[in-house]
Amino acid sequence: MPRMIFPPTSDGLRLGLGGAALGNLFTAVTDDDAQALLSGALAGGCRTLDTAPHYGQGRSEHRFGLALQGQPRDSFVLSTKVGRILVPDASAPREQHGYVDVLPFSQHWDYSAAGVRRSVEDSLQRLGLARLDVVYIHDCDRACHGERYPAVLAQVVHEALPVLRRMQAEGLLRHVGLGVNDVQVCLDVLRQTDVDALMLAGRYTLLDQSSLPELLPLCSQRGVRLALGGVFNSGILATGTRAGQALFNYAAAPPEWLARAARIEDICLAHGVPLRAAALQFPLAHPAVDVVMVGARHQREWQDAASMVQQPIAPAFWHALRQARLLPDDAPVPESAA
What is the predicted pLDDT for the residue at 244? 66
By residue count, the chain amounts to 338
Task: Give 269-279 pLDDT, tens digit per residue.
Answer: 999 999 999 99
Of 146, 154, 156, the closest CA to residue 178 belongs to 156
Domain that holds residue 191: 15-337
- Residue 8 maps to a domain: no
pLDDT of 2 reads 59
Whole-model pTM above 0.75?
yes
Predicted confidence at residue 250, as pLDDT, reads 77
Say if CB 290 and CB 6 are below 8 A apart. yes
Q: Is residue 2 part of a domain?
A: no
In a domain, 231, yes or no: yes
The backbone region for 98, taken as left when phi is positive above 0, alpha when psi lies in -120 to 50, beta otherwise, is: left
Cβ(195)–Cβ(224) below 8 Å: yes
Note whether residue 110 is domain-resident.
Answer: yes
Total domains in the fold of the chain: 1
The residues pairing with 87 across neighbouring beta strands, listed in sequence order, are: 106
79 within a domain of the structure (yes/no): yes
Q: Let me know if residue 4 belongs to a domain.
A: no
Instruction: Please list, residue by residue across 72-81, b when 16 or more beta carbons sit within 10 angstroms of its beta carbon and e when fewer do.
Output: eeeebbbbbb
User: The domain spanning residue 196 has which CATH number?
Assistant: 3.20.20.100
Residue 291 placed within a domain: yes
Distance CA 101, CA 26 (A): 10
In this prediction, residue 253 carries a pLDDT of: 81
Weakly modelled stretches of the chain, pLDDT under 50: 1, 337-338
Residue 10 lies in a domain: no
Residue 179 — φ and ψ, nearest 5°? -120, 100
* H or E stretch covering 248: strand 247-248
Task: Confirm if 178 and 196 have CB atoms less than 8 A apart.
Answer: no
CA distances from 252 to 19, 47, 140, 248, 296 (A): 22, 32, 24, 6, 20
Contacts of 280 (CB under 8 A, 6+ apart): 15, 231, 292, 294, 305, 308, 309
Measured between alpha carbons, how far is 242 from 292 in angstroms, rounded to an integer?
A: 25
Q: Which residues are catalytic?
A: 50, 55, 81
